[in-house]
Amino acid sequence: MKTFFIETFGCQMNAHDSEKVVGTLLNEGYSQVVDEADAGLILYNTCSIRDKAEQKVFHRLNEYKRMQGEGKKFAVLGCVAQQEGAKIFEKAPYVSMVAGSSSYRNLPDMLARLEAGETRITGLDDRETDQTFDTEFTARTNPHRGYITIIEGCDKFCAYCVVPYTRGKERSRSSASVLAEAQRIAGQGFTEIQLLGQNVNSYVDPSGRRSFAELLAAVGEGNGIQRVRFTTSHPRHFTRDIVEASDAMPALCDHIHLPVQSGSTDILRAMNREYTRDWYLERIAWTKAARRDLSLTSDIIVGFPGETDKDFEDTLTLCDEVGYDAIFGFKYSTRPNTPAIHMADSIPEQVKVERLAILNARQRELQRVNYGRHLGQTMPVMVEHGANARGQITGRSTQNKTVNFTCDHIPAIGSYIDVRITQAFPSSLVGEAVSRSTTPSPVLLAQQALNARVPVLA
């Protein structure tokens, strides 16, 4: 029996890429195992967005090296594969296949060559093809959420970011094919759908039929779909009609992730972000004026080359003004091929560490207040995990907030239940169920029972 084990690092797009890989492997007669020791083929789906990603990849591969004498084969996929290419074979000669994310449609051929005994197979695409959206054999391994990639690549070339070099230029998928896949997913029992893209709101329908906001609304109108999320948005393409769609369409979640990266216009200019602080805050004002209570989250980089104390203070004051429900804060690090690699990394590491700690502490206090607003409220929660050691079920609100709650029965994964909030912490809510859950379809329950070992294929 042909068996495989896959390990995935990185964003939700990487996780969805792995679903495509898993689906293809299953269709080619492979069986997925949960322990690499039981696998004949080990695949490592990589991400290069963070510092020293390549070193981490080779460190992990070195851990796998001890198994090469057992007849196992190894493959490196994803962004580091695209970035490093054939150099991976030189650094880790026991690796037999290297494939970037745009070449997964060619996996059947690469697998056949691997089975025939080839030891250096590369799938490094030009990253300009729209065939990356082929989802014929996508495995749905998440038991409660269905992902759909609607746009690949990035044309922004932010000074710090490697994505345009690993994912290629922007290319969008037709709205008709997105809606068709959404209905297939809904037919399998999924009630929550998340639309994905490096710059998801840069979406341009090749058929010219729908704008991004219109596509959001159309997905939300689908039969059986109760929640629609999207990530990640770019402020430059965040338009007022997205907020209007959220107000008009109940299925659109009350959550917008809008990365700002810095609160300083000078640093935004150095980052090549294509907007100013005031431009960003205008879009925040749109969301705050919505009829619905839209939760706002963001990404922020500290210590970008040239960031002064005043620039950093601008970031802190922007956080105060926006009042994010969560941020993902990072220290700046140089990435291969990016324009910023030619800038002097002038901020000492210790200063970066201190600024990140200050930012996180300030944000934690903001969240303490924000989450406290929910005390006494009753909200619908989608169940994501069964009972923990304390007997609490874990789910997620429409604002993407974690809710831990007690219940007089164990609700099914993917079902919805009303929860009254009794406690609030800076990153989670606690409550008690006040209604029985709505049950998802038998297909989703069956998938849950199999623990995703035999994923549903779209």
Task: Give the pLDDT confidence of 303-362 residue by residue, as tens digits.
Answer: 999 999 999 999 999 999 999 999 999 999 988 889 998 898 889 999 999 999 999 999
Say which CATH number the domain at 108 has.
3.40.50.12160
Q: Are residues 339 and 409 in the same domain?
A: no
CA angle at 244 for the pair 367 and 223, rounded to the nearest 5°: 95
The residue out of 352, 372, 392 marking a domain boundary is: 372
Integer Cα distance of 199 and 15 in angstroms? 17
Total tally of structural domains belonging to the chain: 3
Rounded to an integer, the average pLDDT of 131-155 is 79
Q: Are residues 243 and 366 in the same domain?
A: yes
The answer to whether position 343 is within a domain reads: yes
The answer to whether position 455 is within a domain reads: no
Q: Are residues 252 and 151 in the same domain?
A: yes
Q: Are residues 347 and 250 in the same domain?
A: yes
pLDDT at residue 301 tops 80 = yes
Task: Give the pLDDT confidence of 202-215 residue by residue, as tens digits.
Answer: 999 999 999 999 99
Q: Are residues 297 and 151 in the same domain?
A: yes
The answer to whether position 413 is within a domain reads: yes
Q: What is the predicted pLDDT for the residue at 446? A: 42
Q: Are residues 271 and 207 in the same domain?
A: yes
The answer to whether position 341 is within a domain reads: yes
The residue out of 337, 372, 407 marking a domain boundary is: 372
Please identify which residue in the block is written with the tokens 């297909």.
Answer: 443
Q: Which of 53-62, 98-107, 150-159 has the lowest mean pLDDT?
A: 53-62
The answer to whether position 331 is within a domain reads: yes
The answer to whether position 192 is within a domain reads: yes
The residue out of 125, 153, 184 marking a domain boundary is: 125
Q: What is the predicted pLDDT for the residue at 445? A: 45
The answer to whether position 108 is within a domain reads: yes
Q: Are residues 250 and 362 in the same domain?
A: yes
Q: Which domain holds residue 441?
A: 378-448
Q: What is the predicted pLDDT for the residue at 438? A: 66
Q: Are residues 9 and 28 in the same domain?
A: yes
Q: Are residues 224 and 164 in the same domain?
A: yes
The answer to whether position 453 is within a domain reads: no
Q: Are residues 18 and 118 in the same domain?
A: yes
Can you read off the two tokens belonging to residue 223?
């039969």
Q: Are residues 227 and 342 in the same domain?
A: yes
Give the global pTM.
Answer: 0.86
Rounded to an integer, the average pLDDT of 404-426 is 95
pLDDT at residue 444 tops 50 = no
Q: Are residues 355 and 422 in the same domain?
A: no
Say which CATH number the domain at 411 has.
2.40.50.140
Amino acid at 294: L
pLDDT at residue 431 tops 60 = yes
Q: Are 200 and 184 in contact (CB under 8 A)?
A: no
